[in-house]
Amino acid sequence: MRDAITSLTSSAPTATGLLLQPDDPVCQQDLALDRYDEHFKPYAEEYLALPNRLPETILGWLDRYVEPARDHFGDALLLLSHFYMGGEIVKLVERYGGVVSDSYVLALQAQRNPTKTVIVESAVHFMAETVSILASPQQQVWITNPRAGCTMEMMAKDWMVMPAINQLIARYGDELATVAYMNTSGRLKAIAGRTGGAVCTSSNAHLVVQDVLDTADRVLFLPDEHLGRNTAAKLGIPDEHIVTLPHPSNMPADWTLGDVSGGLERLDAATLILWGGFCGVHTVFEVEQVTWWKDKGWDVHVHPESTREVVQAADGSGSTNYLWNVVSQAPQGAKLAIGTEGHFVQNAIERGRQRGVEVRHLADIPGTPAAGCGCATMSRNDPPHLAGMLDLLRRGEAPDINRVLPGDMIDDSTGLRTRLNQAEQDTLVRDATRALQRMVDITEAAS
Ligand code: SF4
C-alpha cells in the first residue's frame, strides 16, 4: 500500500483561460512520419494529410478518436498536460476536460483524483513518472510519447550521479542531504528521500533547501546549477560556500572529489554542492536582453533556470505558475517581457491579449536572431500522439512502452526502456514519496 501524500491545499489546478480561435492555425510544428513509433504511424499519416491546421479541422479529426475514448472510460479518464506544451495541446487537453499546470500540480494529480484510473499525460517523461510514483496500484499512468524526455533530467541519470554521491556520502555521511529538483528521474528522487533530503520545484526550492539545511550541514542540489545558484542567492549563501561538480562527460574515469575546483578544502567549506546540469531553453537569455526591454519601460520576468545574472537583472523571477500569474494579474496596459519556454510565452501572449496586457518573449528583440525556442522534447507530444494513445487504450491495444511505472528509464534516441523489478519499484516509491512528501509539507507550511 503506497503512502498518501497529504495536505494539498495549494495544489489546485486552475483553467488557463485560453481559447481555441477558429482562424488561428495550431502553432505545433509537425513531426516527420519517421518520428512516430509503429503503433502511432496510422494516426500521424491521417493527421499529416489533413488539409490545414485550423482548429475546426483538427478538432473534427481528433474527436473521432478522443470522444469514443472519453465515452468508454467515462470519469476514470484523466488527461494531463504541462504549460510548456504547444498552445493547441494545452487547449485541446483542457477542451477534453483535462488539467494543464506546472510540474508540482501535475505530480499530485493521481493522489488528488483517486477515482481516475486511466491517466494520460502529454508532457515530458519525468513528469509522468512522478505521477506514477504517487499513483495507487489501481491507477495506470500513460505518456502519449515516451521519447519526450527532458534534456536537463538526462544530464543527471542515476548512473552518472551515483559515483559522486557515493564519494560524498563516504566523506560527509549524514551531514549530507540531497535535494532533487522535480526535473529528475524517480531514481534520483528516491536518493533524495534516502539521504534525508527532499524534492523541490522552482517555486519552493529556497524553502526546501533552507529546511533541509536546518537538519544537514550541506546539500547536494541536482541537477540544475542555475536554479541552485539562484536559490543560494535568495538564501544569502555566499559564493565561497558553493561548489559545482564537473559534469561526468568532463570527468576522467578515475575522478575523485579532490579534483573539484579548489580541492577538498573548498568542498569541505561548501554548504551547497551543485550538479552542473542546465536547461538549454532557459540559458539562452542574456542580461543585455533584460536591459533592452527595461530601457523601453517593460517589466521583465524570468524563470529561475536562467543564469543568476539574468535573474538578478530582471524585475522578478519564479516558476511557470508565477509567470502565468504575472500575466494573468497584470493591470490593463502593462508591458511584460517574459523569459521562459517559447510555447508558454505564445500562450502568455494570447492570455495577455485577452486582458489588454502586452507580452513579448524576452529574446524577441528586433534585429537579433530569433532565440525563443520552445522545449523541443516536450513538443514530441502532438495531436496524433494524443489521438493514438486514447484510441489504442480504448481498443485495449496500447503499447506497453507508453505505460509509465516508477523507475522507468527511456533512451529517447533508441526508444528502449529499462524497467526495475517489483521489489526495486516498491523501494523507489517508498523513498521518492518520502522526498515528495517533505516538499509538500514544507510548501504547505509556508502557504
Ligand atoms: S524546458 Fe528545459 S527543463 Fe523544462 S522540460 Fe524542457 S528541457 Fe526540461
Q: Is 156 in the pocket of ligand 1 (CB under 6 A)?
A: no
Pairing of β 176-181 and β 198-200 = parallel
Q: Closest Cα partner for 290 from 188, 361, 242, 372?
A: 361
- What integer pLDDT is reported at residue 9 of this predicted model? 39
Q: Closest Cα partner for 304 from 230, 204, 221?
A: 230
Distance CA 397, CA 392 (A): 5
- Give 306 Cα–ligand 1 centroid separation in angstroms: 12
Q: Is 375 in the pocket of ligand 1 (CB under 6 A)?
A: yes
Task: Supply the residue whose CA is at minimum distance from atom 5 of ligand 1.
Answer: 150
- What integer pLDDT is reported at residue 374 of this predicted model? 77
Task: Supply the residue whose CA is at minimum distance from atom 2 of ligand 1.
Answer: 279
Q: What percent of the chain has pLDDT over 70?
A: 92
Q: Are residues 63 and 15 in the same domain?
A: yes
What's the pLDDT tens digit per position in 202-234?
A: 999 999 999 999 999 999 999 999 999 999 999
Residue 108 near residue 99 (C-beta atoms within 8 A): no
Q: Are residues 297 and 262 in the same domain?
A: no
In a domain, 181, yes or no: yes
Mean pLDDT of 285-312: 97
Q: Is 124 in the pocket of ligand 1 (CB under 6 A)?
A: yes
In a domain, 185, yes or no: yes
Q: Is 152 in the pocket of ligand 1 (CB under 6 A)?
A: yes
Residues in the chain: 447
CA 291 to chain centre: 28
Q: Are residues 142 and 13 in the same domain?
A: yes
Distance CA 364, CA 429 (A): 42
pLDDT at 41 over 70: yes
What residue has cell string 560556500? 241
Distance CA 21, CA 212 (A): 46
Residue 292's domain comprises: 282-361
pLDDT at 19 over 70: no
Q: What is residue 74's three-state secondary structure?
A: helix
- Give 269 Cα–ligand 1 centroid separation in angstroms: 31
In a domain, 130, yes or no: yes
Q: Is 107 in the pocket of ligand 1 (CB under 6 A)?
A: no
In a domain, 313, yes or no: yes
The residue that leads in pLDDT, 377 or 370, is: 377
Task: Supply the residue whose CA is at minimum distance from atom 1 of ligand 1.
Answer: 375
Our CA angle for 51, 52, 54, nearest 5°, is 140
Q: Are residues 325 and 247 in the same domain?
A: no
Q: Is 155 in the pocket of ligand 1 (CB under 6 A)?
A: no
CA distances from 205 to 231, 281, 284, 413 (A): 6, 20, 22, 31
Cell numbers representing residue 82 in the block: 504541462
For the CA of 151, the closest atom of ligand 1 is: 7
For the CA of 224, the closest atom of ligand 1 is: 3
pLDDT at 60 over 80: yes
Q: Are residues 124 and 161 in the same domain?
A: no
Q: Is 154 in the pocket of ligand 1 (CB under 6 A)?
A: no
In a domain, 312, yes or no: yes
CATH number of the CATH domain containing 135: 3.40.50.10800
Q: Report which residue type is found at 27.
A: C
> In the structure, what pLDDT confidence band is assigned to residue 366 with cuts at 50, 70 and 90?
confident
Q: Are residues 18 and 100 in the same domain?
A: yes
As a dihedral over the C-alpha atoms of residue 265, residue 271, residue 275, residue 276, rounded to 10 degrees, the angle is -70
Distance CA 53, CA 42 (A): 18
Ramachandran category for residue 60: left, alpha or beta (phi over 0 → left; psi -120 to 50 → alpha)? alpha
Q: What percent of the chain has pLDDT over 90?
A: 72
- Give 282 Cα–ligand 1 centroid separation in angstroms: 8
Q: Is 16 in the pocket of ligand 1 (CB under 6 A)?
A: no
pTM of the model: 0.92
- What integer pLDDT is reported at residue 6 of this predicted model? 46
Helices (H), 214-283: 225-235, 263-268
Question: Residue 208: how many CA atoms within 13 Å on its side-chain side?
Answer: 33
Buried/exposed code over 343-357 (b: 16+ C-beta within 10 A; e: otherwise):
bbbbbbbbbbeebeb
Neighbours of 56 (CB within 10 A): 11
The residue that leads in pLDDT, 160 or 118, is: 118
Q: Are residues 172 and 119 in the same domain?
A: no
- Give 152 Cα–ligand 1 centroid separation in angstroms: 6
3-state helix, strand, coil in the chain (%, to 5): 50, 15, 40
Mean pLDDT of 395-418: 95
Q: Is 102 in the pocket of ligand 1 (CB under 6 A)?
A: no
Residue 383 near residue 92 (C-beta atoms within 8 A): yes
Mean pLDDT of 296-308: 97
Buried/exposed code over 176-191 (b: 16+ C-beta within 10 A; e: otherwise):
bbbbbbbbbbbbbbbb
The domain tally of the chain equals: 3
Task: Classify residue 371 by its DSSP letter.
Answer: -
CA distances from 390 to 92, 138, 163, 447 (A): 13, 18, 41, 37
For the CA of 280, the closest atom of ligand 1 is: 2
In a domain, 374, yes or no: no
Q: Report which residue type is found at 163.
A: P
* Most confident stretch, 176-180, 373-377, 414-418: 176-180
Q: Closest Cα partner for 325 from 11, 16, 8?
A: 16
What's the pLDDT tens digit per position in 378-393?
A: 888 889 999 999 999 9
Mean pLDDT of 64-84: 94
- Give 37 Cα–ligand 1 centroid separation in angstroms: 23
* Site to substitute for ligand 1 among 85, 275, 341, 346, most atoms within 8 A of C-beta: 341
pLDDT at 284 over 60: yes
Q: Are residues 126 and 179 in the same domain?
A: no
* Site to substitute for ligand 1 among 104, 152, 284, most atoms within 8 A of C-beta: 152
Distance CA 447, CA 442 (A): 9
- Bridge partners, residue 180, by sequence: 199, 222
Q: Are residues 328 and 247 in the same domain?
A: no
- Give 151 Cα–ligand 1 centroid separation in angstroms: 6
pLDDT at 404 over 70: yes
Cell numbers representing residue 92 in the block: 485541446
What is the full DSSP assignment across 267-288? Answer: HHT-SEEE--B--TTTTT--HH
> In the structure, what pLDDT confidence band is assigned to residue 345 with cuts at 50, 70 and 90?
very high
Q: Are residues 26 and 142 in the same domain?
A: yes
Q: Which residues have a Cβ under 8 Å from the Cβ of 442 and sit 6 or more positions away? A: 198, 204, 207, 208, 211
- Give 78 Cα–ligand 1 centroid separation in angstroms: 23
Mean pLDDT of 267-296: 96
Distance CA 46, CA 293 (A): 43
Q: Is 341 in the pocket of ligand 1 (CB under 6 A)?
A: yes
Task: Supply the residue whose CA is at minimum distance from atom 8 of ligand 1.
Answer: 150
Q: Are residues 62 and 91 in the same domain?
A: yes
* Site to substitute for ligand 1 among 183, 303, 346, most atoms within 8 A of C-beta: 183
- What integer pLDDT is reported at residue 91 of this predicted model? 78
In a domain, 49, yes or no: yes
In a domain, 226, yes or no: yes
Q: Are residues 187 and 271 in the same domain?
A: yes
- What integer pLDDT is reported at residue 10 of this predicted model? 45
What's the pLDDT tens digit per position in 135-171?
A: 999 999 999 999 999 999 999 999 999 999 999 999 9
What's the pLDDT tens digit per position in 162-204?
A: 999 999 999 999 999 999 999 999 999 999 999 999 999 999 9
Task: Supply the residue whose CA is at minimum distance from atom 6 of ligand 1.
Answer: 375
Task: Supply the residue whose CA is at minimum distance from atom 3 of ligand 1.
Answer: 279
Distance CA 138, CA 135 (A): 8
